[in-house]
Structure 1
Amino acid sequence: MDYRLQVVTLSVGDVDRAAAFYIRRAGFTLDVDYHPAPGFRVVQLTPPGSSCSVQIGVGLTDAAPGSARATYLAVTDIEAAHRELTERGVEISAIRHKSPIDDWKGDWRPGTDPERRDYASLADFADPDGNAWAIQEIGFRPSQAAGGAEPHHTEPREGMTR
């Protein structure tokens, strides 16, 4: 039996402002904007290439606007994703990587992981309400970008699956 994640609900203060951010800045696709009655509206948006969507709206959740933390988007080329989001006007952190990757008590270092290891490189941004997102590189292939190291696939740790 497959249990596929289909949608994640984010709480926002202004649905139109948030939808505009996700469509125009983050590049998400608008799937539906359903407003059948006063006090209820659901806007479903899907990140490029994703089979999971996010929904924002009115009457969906009692969570405080901007309360989502650490929602991850997996990308195969973090430098290209960072460049694309920056060009679209998203305020995104500098790319950083975990070093050493095997010790989560270790430091974060600036830039993309030199070995382009899975799960090592991240950058963060937030929507206008403060819902926090991270982009994380998984599955980099040197043919995707000029130069680059051979990919290193970190085996999942106990309790993690890929």
Structure 2
Amino acid sequence: MQMTTRVLSVALPVADMDAAVAFYVGVLGCEVRYDVEAVPGVRMVEVVPPGSQVGIVLLPPDSPVPIAVRLGTSDADAAYARLAATDGVVLHNDEVLRWEGVPPMFHFSDPQGNSLVYLETSKPA
């Protein structure tokens, strides 16, 4: 089973959201893909270089939203089960999260401690 379909985004912690957005848009030439309140009180901005599919998610350093590399998967449940059986992987959710308007997803750390999130991007044909 091919679990990872693509890199969706990379999250970075930023202390000053407005200054960070001004830099990524005004200096680096990125476009704002979205600017939302991800959870109450937490602003989340995704910027993307022109022509790129991969976004950069800007989050406050103390965000409850994981500062992680976000990966696509065709089957979040199968990916969760496979990672649950893999030594050294830490699952940060008790199950695949299913919230209205958001694809099924879960947060985990690889054996080196890097923070990753899987989001289901499509079902296999």
Task: Normalising by structure 2, report the TM-score.
Answer: 0.44
Structure with the greater alpha carbon radius of gyration: 1
Q: Which has a greater percent of strand?
A: 2
Q: Taking CA–CA contacts closer than 8 Å with sequence separation of 6 or more, which of the two structures ends up with the larger relative contact order?
A: 2
